[in-house]
Amino acid sequence: MKKESTAGTAVGGGVVGGEEEELYLSSDSILARKLQKILSAELESDKTTLDSLNALSHFFTENSLFHRRFLRGEIERRSLEIHRQFLHDFGHLNQGLEEVSDRILDMKLKSQDMKAHLDKTKGQTRDLIQSTNALKRESAQLRRKQEVLAAFQTTFALSSEDERILIEGQPSEGFFQALADVRRVQTHCQAWIKDRDPSSDEQVLTAQETLQRIQEVTEVALRRTFQWAQAQCQSIEALGPSRAQLLPMAMRWLQERPDLFSLVLEDYCAGRRLALVRSFIDALTVGGVGGTPRPIELHAHDPPRYVGDMLAWIHLQIPTENENLQLLLRDERITQRKETCLKSIGSITEDICRPLTNRVEQILLLEASPLTLFRLINLLHFYSSTMGLATPKGSTLINTLECLEQLANKQFFKALISTVSQSVAQAEAPNPDLAPNHCTLQLLALLKDLLASSTMTEDATPKIKTVIDTVLRPLLESVQNVAAPFPTTDRDVFLLNSFYQIHSTLSLYHGTEDHLVMIQGEIDLRVDTLTSEQTSKIIANLGIQPICSLISAEHEAPLAKVPGMNAAALKQFMHRLDAFLVNPEEFLMAQSKYLISSSQRREIYKRSMGIVVASYHQIFESVMEPKSGYENPKAIMGKTPEQISLLLHL
């Protein structure tokens, strides 16, 4: 029993101890978990905890037991203070919101009053708007009617302002604009009544009355325009800015009256004609402003320059006058503008012909030099052709230039024939060197100057041929007459030199082809003659002719047995031939060295030597034939024809 009690007590004690142990373990677990939570918390990343600790550091400055005991109360007190402050601030905000609410309510009431007032006003102005719209529609209808009426008046009625300007005003831009408006109204009225019965429509009758009034006003306006334009043109020197603007307008309207247009144009031409003559006289005697350019008459001692300066001055004025006329008649509605300008240029240049003719005729009648007269012909011909492009055919200026050119031609050929006749009459005999005489050289120099100063145009070619004939025919006759008394060879060399000199001169210029052919024929004839004479002399000196005659004759015996053809005779011939080959110039004509042309001298030499070589070739072939009977013919004829040609440089 005792053991059981003891055991029971032990058991009981064990139960109580076990409960206490469990409670202890349970308390430790809760604390352990909290500690574990605190230890595992990452305070560095917890912003709320950091902010709380930061705020705590401001008032919990000392970490003591006393302060830790009152820490909770301090925190609660501070929290209560913060809430009181928040409540106080929120009270002010609430008061402000209530004031805003009161103002909004007041604005609502005022807006409602304004809306009621606007509704009342809208009702009152509805009738006014309707009345205004009605007035606008009526105003638009009246405006359209006014525009239609204005367009009708502009199209079919004569403006009182335009009528006043055309009847009382002076020509101006407004004047001509009014005239254009009147003409437009006239065109519309004519178109309106074109397809209507004149007696059945009141509007047509009105249009007819308007047309009649327009005709009256237009007549007055054109008369005033004519008088104004006539006054302007009679005193005109040049088209100034104002005239350049208004006169072309006046001419455009005066074209509708050809008689008035022609009268104004005649007055313009008369004014410009007088101004041109005055300017020409000043250019001749006074010169330009300040003496530059110098007066033209200072060069009167030099006829080509004097006449050339006068013609050049006139030539420069024609484009200026043409430009002024183009400006005057620039309106495209003026018909036949080009023909009118040409005719007017002819009229403007009429009076300048008299002073020009007097001076040029005086020069032509007193000048004796053919070269000067020929240069004047070329000047007159050139300017006549050039000015003829800008002036009408048959105008006074062109006729004057053509007449002066004819007079210059007449005086030129008269002076040329006289000069040639004097030179030919004084022609002397050939010089010892058989060169062209002084007469030939003098006339060729004159002909060269004439050809050099001529204008090589198609219409000038016949004149050039006539000039060459006038000089050349007497010259050729003189050359042949002078050479006639001389020996044949001297005469041929002199003629060949003279013909060569003439050919060389003519070959430098165009338009001399026919004369070159004729002169070349004479040269060829003289070359043939001299070639024949020189060949005959060489053949005679070498003794070739008798040998060739014996070879050509028929013989019964071999050629070697014929008298004069034996080996000894042939050797003598070869000795003469060798001497000839050593110095062939000694066998030539003495006159050949006087030939001016080296090519002719060479040609005569080659042709004569060619005949000699051909004759030698005939002799060589005959001797080399076996039937001729020569022993060792190669020893007799020591040179072949080819060697002879080589030695003679053929």
SS3 649: coil
498 by Cβ neighbours in 10 Å (0-12 / 13-18 / 19+) ranks as buried
**pLDDT > 90 in the chain, percent:** 32
SS3 582: helix
Helix H or strand E encompassing 393:
none
CA–CA separation, 445 vs 420, rounded Å? Answer: 12
**Among candidate residues 506, 405, 422, the one with its CA nearest the CA of residue 464:** 506
Distance set, CA 562 to CA 323, 487, 617, 619 (Å): 100, 39, 19, 14
Query: What is the pTM assigned to this prediction?
Result: 0.66
Cis peptide preceding 641, ω within 30 of 0: no
CA–CA separation, 534 vs 606, rounded Å? Answer: 11
Distance set, CA 628 to CA 546, 551, 552, 633 (Å): 17, 10, 13, 9
Mean pLDDT by 10 residues, the chain (650 residues): 38 43 59 74 68 70 69 79 85 86 89 86 80 85 74 64 79 82 74 63 66 79 88 68 76 86 90 92 87 88 94 94 87 79 92 94 92 93 91 92 94 94 88 89 93 69 86 93 89 93 91 91 93 90 86 79 84 89 85 89 91 90 85 85 87
CA–CA separation, 123 vs 126, rounded Å? Answer: 6
- pLDDT tens per residue, range 35-66: 777 777 666 666 777 777 777 776 666 777 76
CA–CA separation, 21 vs 40, rounded Å? Answer: 27
In contact, 512 and 478? CB cutoff 8 Å? no
Work out the number of other CB atoms within 10 angstroms of the CB of residue 185. Answer: 23
End-to-end CA distance of the chain: 189
pLDDT at site 60: 67
pLDDT at site 157: 61
The rounded Cα 432 to chain-centroid distance in angstroms is 62
Per-position DSSP letters for 586-606, written without gaps between them: GGS-GGGGG-S-HHHHHHHHH
Work out the number of other CB atoms within 10 angstroms of the CB of residue 511. Answer: 20
CA–CA separation, 642 vs 229, rounded Å? Answer: 98
- ∠ CA 416-420-423, nearest 5°, is 140
pLDDT at site 307: 95
- pLDDT tens per residue, range 505-533: 999 988 888 999 999 999 999 999 999 99
pLDDT at site 292: 80
